[in-house]
């Protein structure tokens, strides 16, 4: 795939197919394409430790609102990481500014600051143009160097540090450095640090964490233009971003790339990635190992081997770890394993099939269990990508699943639980369809069930959605519930259609009834379910339009 494809507008969506496949392997046959394959690691978020039925009832404890917001600062816009601040949210990613006449483009790292309503307050664009780069004879389109925010963390002093690719012309056209940027909640830059590899080697960052001693660890892949194969790398800095050590990893080879890293309570580092056996034959395998605090390997984990890629790592609620892997396309299987620091494998679960995409972030869910976001499609159907959420319990069993899509392409890249008991997700959406704006930065906030709320406020019509009381209640065999849906144009967001969802006390969605517009009555058979309290939720295109409790005798 030639570099010239990246400067053609009509090729952007086709290229995105390639990027999605490559993002999990973090390898590429084209360096130019590789400069846009962006992916954020998982962010550990402390789980809300309360449960009972409250864990499955949507909440907005501090009056924050749920939303679906889309913004553009250039032709192509993408959010890769999102964090909560004291007065809203900050998301990191990139945008591509393109001249539609000359087709020249520049890729810049971007930070978006919003309030708790998801409305943009400010934007910080970081771009370090390189005159030598622009004037190179091998750069006929006049492309500028690119910076892309890949990951960021909230640090112990309540500020933030982001890691970005930083393309600087040195001895080769594609010489990447690691760029660390420290900033506060108002996007004021506090310091920047650029870390280079000696000689003619690029360091392409993938994941960033802050360690218990206040320093930072970055992992990713490195390559030299004297060697065709990638090697994994990991580096450590002090709290000011000064380099302490840097190691590369390529055992057994011939190639390797690292995808994510987590620190253990003892200060060791668990790292995941992909072993590149033979890229020409699509021959890969996941790799998972542990090093000491200085990056020296002390355990290589024995995990289920697949022809596929190793990806994100997440902490579990009981002090262990999750690791996400996926088999190689064209029809791939999402896999999550749970393992201990000592290497004990507790379980391995599959989460559906797809052509392109995969799970991109896993965090502890509100209450218990875990929730993941990602990108999916319909196997054998092109150009129908969707953002998704999947909730699963401590044993890896699925509780519920949501898809978010417009007629075009929609991608979720990262998520975090919020202080008011909901979820914030970032990504990109291709819902505009114009030449001036190909994709938009996407910021979504849902309730604890993965639903939007405020349907009545959204449509602004009377009568409001009415959800009656279940009868009989308590119930033995069945109950009926009445409802009314306004005759209006429904929003084209979230999971399509009008549905009644039934949840048990664990938060598992156990029944779904699709409903046609207009006043109606739905009936749920309950004879096969155990005694207990259940929740009925009325949804319209993914918007939570009301809920009722039902007691089963």
Query: How is residue 168 written in tokens?
Result: 């600087």
pLDDT at position 263 over 50: yes
Q: Which among 387, 418, 450 is the end of a domain?
A: 450
pLDDT score for 168: 63
pLDDT score for 335: 87
Minimal CA–CA distance to 56: which of 477, 553, 468, 544? 544
437 & 466 share domain: no
| Residue 517 vs residue 433, higher pLDDT | 517
Instruction: Say if CB 483 and CB 522 are below 8 A apart.
Output: yes
Give 2's pLDDT tier (boundaries 50, 70, 90): very low
Among the residue ranges 127-136, 288-297, 331-340, the one predicted with the least confidence is 127-136
492 & 364 share domain: no
294 & 411 share domain: yes
pLDDT score for 268: 98
For the chain, what percent of residues have pLDDT higher than 90? 41
406 & 507 share domain: no
pLDDT at position 456 over 80: no
Residue-wise DSSP of 78-124: EEEEEEEETTEEEEEEEEEEE-TTT--EEEEEEEEEE-TTS-EEEEE
476 & 493 share domain: yes
What integer is the mean pLDDT of 120-127? 87
428 & 466 share domain: no
360 & 375 share domain: yes
Residue-wise DSSP of 317-345: TTS-EEEEEEEPSSSEEEEEEEE-TT--E
CA angle 183, 46, 502 (to 5 degrees): 125
402 & 257 share domain: yes
Give 538's pLDDT tier (boundaries 50, 70, 90): confident
| Residue 429 vs residue 66, higher pLDDT | 429
Tens of pLDDT, residues 69-99: 888 888 889 999 999 999 999 999 998 887 6
Distance of CA 15 to the CA centre of its chain: 19
Tens of pLDDT, residues 486-496: 655 554 444 45
pTM: 0.81
pLDDT at position 530 over 90: yes
pLDDT score for 53: 31
Question: What's the structural domain count of the chain?
Answer: 2
Q: Which among 450, 476, 510 is the end of a domain?
A: 450
Among the residue ranges 160-169, 355-364, 516-525, 532-541, the one predicted with the least confidence is 516-525
pLDDT score for 85: 95
pLDDT at position 55 over 50: no
Tens of pLDDT, residues 13-29: 433 433 344 344 433 32
pLDDT at position 137 over 70: no
390 & 501 share domain: no
Tens of pLDDT, residues 343-399: 999 999 988 777 777 888 999 998 889 999 988 876 556 567 888 999 999 999 999
10 & 106 share domain: yes
3-state secondary structure 51-66: CCHHHHCCCCCCCCCC
Mean pLDDT score of the chain: 78
pLDDT at position 129 over 50: yes
Q: What is the CATH number of the domain that holds 408?
A: 2.130.10.10
pLDDT score for 151: 96
pLDDT score for 381: 61
Residue-wise DSSP of 364-431: EPSSSSEEEEEEE--TT--S--EEEEEEE-TTS-EEEEEEE--SS-EEEEEEEE-TTS-EEEEEEE--
Instruction: Say if CB 37 and CB 176 are below 8 A apart.
Output: no
Q: Which among 390, 425, 450 is the end of a domain?
A: 450
| Residues contacting 271, CB < 8 A, separation 6+ | 219, 232, 234, 249, 258, 260, 261, 288, 289, 290, 291, 313
Instruction: Say if CB 220 and CB 205 are below 8 A apart.
Output: yes
197 & 145 share domain: yes
- Domain of 162? 3-450
Q: What is the CATH number of the domain that holds 532?
A: 2.60.40.1930
Query: How is residue 230 written in tokens?
Result: 């990638």
Measured distance CA(304)–CA(299) in Å, rounded: 16
pLDDT at position 8 over 50: no
Minimal CA–CA distance to 255: which of 280, 290, 235? 280
Tens of pLDDT, residues 169-216: 555 455 788 999 999 999 999 999 999 876 667 888 999 999 999 999
421 & 489 share domain: no
**8-state DSSP, 461:** -
The answer to whether the peptide bond before residue 549 is cis (omega within 30 degrees of 0) is no
Give 12's pLDDT tier (boundaries 50, 70, 90): very low
Instruction: Say if CB 293 and CB 212 are below 8 A apart.
Output: no
Distance of CA 54 to the CA centre of its chain: 26
């Amino acid at each position: 795939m030639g570099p010239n494809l990246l400067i053609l507008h009509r090729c952007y969506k086709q290229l995105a197919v390639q990027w999605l496949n490559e993002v999990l392997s973090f390898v590429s046959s084209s360096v130019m394409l590789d400069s846009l394959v962006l992916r954020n690691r998982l962010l550990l978020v402390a789980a809300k430790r309360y449960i009972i039925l409250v864990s499955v009832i949507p909440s907005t404890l501090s009056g924050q609102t749920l939303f679906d917001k889309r913004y553009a600062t250039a032709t192509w816009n993408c959010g890769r990481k999102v964090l909560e601040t004291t007065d809203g949210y900050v998301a990191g990613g990139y945008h591509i500014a393109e001249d539609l006449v000359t087709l020249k483009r520049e890729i810049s790292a971007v930070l978006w600051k919003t309030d708790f309503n998801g409305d943009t307050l400010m934007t910080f664009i970081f771009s370090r143009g390189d005159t030598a780069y622009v004037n190179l004879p091998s750069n006929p389109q006049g492309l500028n160097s690119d910076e892309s925010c890949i990951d960021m963390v909230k640090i112990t002093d309540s500020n933030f540090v982001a890691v970005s690719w930083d393309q600087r012309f040195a001895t080769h056209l594609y010489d990447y450095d690691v760029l660390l940027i420290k900033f506060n909640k108002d996007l004021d830059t506090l310091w920047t640090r650029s870390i280079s590899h000696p000689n003619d080697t690029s360091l392409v960052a993938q994941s960033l964490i802050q360690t218990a001693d206040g320093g930072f660890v970055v992992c990713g892949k490195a390559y030299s233009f004297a060697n065709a194969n990638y090697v994994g790398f990991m580096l450590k800095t002090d709290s000011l971003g000064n380099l302490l050590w840097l190691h590369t990893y390529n055992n057994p080879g011939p190639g390797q790339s690292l995808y994510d890293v987590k620190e253990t309570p003892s200060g060791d580092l668990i790292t995941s990635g992909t072993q590149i056996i033979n890229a020409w034959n699509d021959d890969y395998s996941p790799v998972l190992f542990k090093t000491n605090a200085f990056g020296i390997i002390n355990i290589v984990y024995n995990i289920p081997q697949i022809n596929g890629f190793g990806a994100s790592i997440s902490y579990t609620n009981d002090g262990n770890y999750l690791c996400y892997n996926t088999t190689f396309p064209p029809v791939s299987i999402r896999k999550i394993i749970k393992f201990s620091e000592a290497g004990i494998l507790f379980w391995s679960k599959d989460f559906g099939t797809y052509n392109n995409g995969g799970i991109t972030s896993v965090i502890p869910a509100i209450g218990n269990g875990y929730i993941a976001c990602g990108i999916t499609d319909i196997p054998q159907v092109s150009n129908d990508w969707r953002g998704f959420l999947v909730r699963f319990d401590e044993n890896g069993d699925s509780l519920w699943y949501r898809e978010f899509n417009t007629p075009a392409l929609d991608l979720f890249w990262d998520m975090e639980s919020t202080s008011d008991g909901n979820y914030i997700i970032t990504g990109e959406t291709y819902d505009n369809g114009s030449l001036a704006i190909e994709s938009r930065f996407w910021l979504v906030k849902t309730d604890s069930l993965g639903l939007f709320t405020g349907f009545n406020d959204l449509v602004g019509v009377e009568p409001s959605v009415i959800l009656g009381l279940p009868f009989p209640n308590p119930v033995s065999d069945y109950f009926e519930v009445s409802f009314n849906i306004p005759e209006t144009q429904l929003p084209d967001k979230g999971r399509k259609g009008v549905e009644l969802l039934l949840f048990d006390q664990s938060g598992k969605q156990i029944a779904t009834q699709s409903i046609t517009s207009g006043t109606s009555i739905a009936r749920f058979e309950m004879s096969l379910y155990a005694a207990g309290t259940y929740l009925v939720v009325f949804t319209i295109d993914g918007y939570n339009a009301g809920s009722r409790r039902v007691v089963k005798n």
